[in-house]
Amino acid sequence: MSQLLTYESIDNTVLDTLRPPGRQYWLTVALLFGGVLIGAACWLYQILTGIGVGGQNNPVHWGTYLINFVFWVGIAHSGTLISAILHLFRAGWRNPIARAAETMTVFAVCTAGLYPFIHLGRVWMVYYMLPLPNQRTLWPNFQSPLMFDVVAIGTYLTVSSLFWYTGMLPDLATIRDRSQGVRRKIFGVLSMGWTGEFEQWRHYTRGYLFFAALATPLVISVHSVVSWDFALSVIPGWHTTIFAPYFVAGAIHSGLAMVLTLMIPLRKIFHYENIITIRVLESVAKTIVFTGLIVGFAYGTEVFIAWYSHNIVEMETFRWRALGDYALEYWIMVTCNTLIPLLFLFSKIRTHLRWLFIISIFVNIGMWYERFVIIIGSVAHDFLPHAWGLYRPTLIEFGIMLGSFCLFFFLFVLFVKHMPSVAMTEIKETLHEGGAHVG
């Protein structure tokens, strides 16, 4: 039932989404902003009172702040996978969702970047993390994985933002040329005078190719660096070589699920059904099966090697994970991440919007719990039985978590109504002469 797509119909569909929004939209924005304010209030309370208002203590000194940090960085990665890596593979199904995915990346990294600040407690000391010359010749310790994070996340935020903005240039020019008045002026500045001349295009396509080629190793390295926050320690359950590819696969897994969670409502509200077709969503679902299997493979390998090592601490750690105090979280993780996505092997399920949406939510929940199991589950139960302890997040932590989720959706919702949420230029590229179906 899809109509034929033409250059004009694509432009019109996307420009339609930029018309002045109605009351429902502003209500949503207000609600989300309310959530952000709650988070900010909790954070302010923490700054004034002290980091102890969170549940982290001895022995579990890393709690939801780290879980959410890793969660949001993970979500960011599949945006870059879709826009950069799939560009290198010339996979046409990425084009309809590339813009929204890249936007998701930028906002997810922003959200993730807040967490090291939050977790600092005394946020005014953040400058310690930067190599600023000072009288005492004190410098950050670049051998620390936490400094690797600073460098990697900083690079990722910069590169993603530049990639995102560069990708938007031709579309911003399209909007400029179809607008009047103030909007025309704003988009005129934003589009940097882009006129679609071939002199511009030839440099642009080369530059874009390099962006994609450089963003690819960046994706892999950034989440490997985040995984090494844990793997470079000596704690059982953390100190294991598989973490780097395991985390990267898990990041892409959770990010793809978030892509589905965002795209399915987006396409309904903005009438993008001809552009973001079921085939595109189906391709995302199939990739989720693949990443879910990788994650499941990692779970199995860790358990096997824990037994193989015959190291009593390793064996106890993994026994406790599956059967101990946090066993429920462990089994939620395994079920939601590996077993439930296998439902996507059935084509009836992966072409059905409701199932796509529901399963994507489950995967996100499962991936959040994976970080819980890894972070909390190892530190709570490491070498000395005398030092074992449990962890429960406090209301302040939940408030901050709510704030971060609301911040992400708030930024995303603001973006989609004021900027082009589908890459018009890229969709046009996939069309053949005279208009065609996409995907």
Partner 1 sequence: MKAVPMSAERVSLMGIFGSESQTAATIRDLRASDYTLERVHSPIPSHVIADALDLPKSKVGWFTLAGGIIGFFSGFALAAFTAARWSMIVGGKPVVALIPFFIVGFEFTILFAIFGNVLGLISQARLPRFRVYKRYDPRFTGHKFGVLVSCETAKKNDLYRLFEAKGAEINVYDNP
Partner 2 sequence: MSTTTHSKTLEGLGQDKTTDARTAPSQRARWPLAPGLALLFVAVGAATFIFQVAAGDPARAWQAYLISFLLFSAIAHGAVLFATLMHMVRARWSGPLADLAEAFTAFFPISFVLFLLLYAGRSYLFLWSGTDLHGKEVWLNVSFLFARDGIGLLILYSLGFAYLYHALWFKLSSRGASGMTGRWLLRRWQKRPPDAERYQSRKTVLSGLYMLAFAIVLSLLGYDLVMSMDPHWYSTLFGAYSFVKAIYVGFGALIILAAVLHLSRATAFRLKSSQFHDIGKLFFAFGLVWADFFYAQLVVIWYGNISEETAYVIERTMTAPWNRLAWTVFIGCFIAPFLILINKRIKTIPAAMIVICGLVIAGMWLEHLLLLGPVYHTHVPAVPLSWADGMIALGFLGLLIGAVFVYLRQFPEILNVLPEENR
Q: Which residue from 83, 95, 174, 227 is in contact with partner 1, where contact means CB under 8 A?
A: 174
- Burial label for 4, CB within 10 Å (0-12, 13-18, 19+), is exposed
Q: Does 170 participate in binding partner 1 (rule CB under 8 A)?
A: yes
Residues 6+ apart with CB under 8 A from 389: 57, 58, 59, 60, 380
Q: Does 211 participate in binding partner 1 (rule CB under 8 A)?
A: yes
Which residue's CB is nearer to partner 1, number 178 or number 319? Answer: 178
Q: Does 6 participate in binding partner 1 (rule CB under 8 A)?
A: yes
Q: Does 25 participate in binding partner 2 (rule CB under 8 A)?
A: no
CB of 424 to partner 1, least distance (A): 8
Is the bond into 341 cis (omega within 30 degrees of 0)? no
Which residue's CB is nearer to partner 2, number 303 or number 431? Answer: 303
DSSP-assigned letters across all residues of 5-72: B-HHHHHHHHHHTTSPP-HHHHHHHHHHHHHHHHHHHHHHHHHHH-GGGSS--SS----HHHHHHHHH
Q: Does 158 participate in binding partner 1 (rule CB under 8 A)?
A: yes
Query: CA 414, CA 91: separation in Å to the nearest integer?
Result: 29
How many other β-carbons are positioned within 10 Å of the β-carbon of residue 131?
12
List the single partner that 135 binds among partner 1, partner 2, none, CB under 5 to 8 Å by kind: none
Given phi > 0 = left and psi -120 to 50 = alpha, else beta, which region is 277? beta
Q: Which residue from 244, 278, 353, 414 is in contact with partner 2, where contact means CB under 8 A?
A: 244
- Contact range with partner 1 by CB under 8 A, out of 52-60, 94-102, 210-218, 294-302: 210-218
Contact 1, 432 (CB under 8 A): no
Q: Does 151 participate in binding partner 2 (rule CB under 8 A)?
A: no
Give residue 351's Cα distance to chain centre.
24
Q: Does 217 participate in binding partner 2 (rule CB under 8 A)?
A: yes
- Contact range with partner 1 by CB under 8 A, out of 46-54, 192-200, 294-302, 327-335: 192-200
CA distances from 279 to 193, 276, 346 (A): 36, 8, 14
Q: Does 143 participate in binding partner 1 (rule CB under 8 A)?
A: yes
- Contact range with partner 1 by CB under 8 A, out of 50-58, 83-91, 155-163, 341-349: 155-163
One-letter amino acid for residue 436 of the chain? A
CB of 78 to partner 1, least distance (A): 18
CB of 112 to partner 2, least distance (A): 22
Q: Which residue from 128, 201, 304, 308 is in contact with partner 1, where contact means CB under 8 A?
A: 201
Q: Which residue from 40, 53, 232, 431 is in contact with partner 2, where contact means CB under 8 A?
A: 232
Question: Which SS3 state, helix, strand or coil, does residue 272 take?
Answer: coil
Q: Does 122 participate in binding partner 1 (rule CB under 8 A)?
A: no
Query: CA 322, CA 306: separation in Å to the nearest integer?
Result: 13
Please, which of residues 308-327 interact with partner 2 by CB under 8 A?
Answer: 308-311
Q: Does 233 participate in binding partner 2 (rule CB under 8 A)?
A: yes
Q: Does 14 participate in binding partner 1 (rule CB under 8 A)?
A: no
Contact 190, 166 (CB under 8 A): no
One-letter amino acid for residue 235 of the chain? I
As given in the structure block, the two tokens for residue 291 are 């990443």
List the single partner that 206 binds among partner 1, partner 2, none, CB under 5 to 8 Å by kind: partner 1
Query: CA 333, CA 373: separation in Å to the nearest integer?
Result: 8
- Torsion sign across C-alpha atoms 142, 233, 78, 187: negative
- Contact range with partner 2 by CB under 8 A, out of 36-44, 161-169, 170-178, 306-314: 306-314
Residues 6+ apart with CB under 8 A from 402: 35, 38, 39
Q: Does 92 participate in binding partner 1 (rule CB under 8 A)?
A: no
- Burial label for 403, CB within 10 Å (0-12, 13-18, 19+), is buried
Query: Where do contacts with partner 1 occur on this chain (CB under 8 A)?
Result: 6-8, 11, 131, 137, 139-143, 147-148, 151-152, 154-155, 158-159, 162-163, 166, 169-170, 173-174, 176-178, 192-207, 210-211, 214, 217-218, 221-222, 225, 228, 425, 428-429, 433-434
Query: Where do contacts with partner 2 occur on this chain (CB under 8 A)?
Result: 91, 217, 220, 224, 228, 231-234, 239-245, 293, 297, 301-302, 305, 308-311
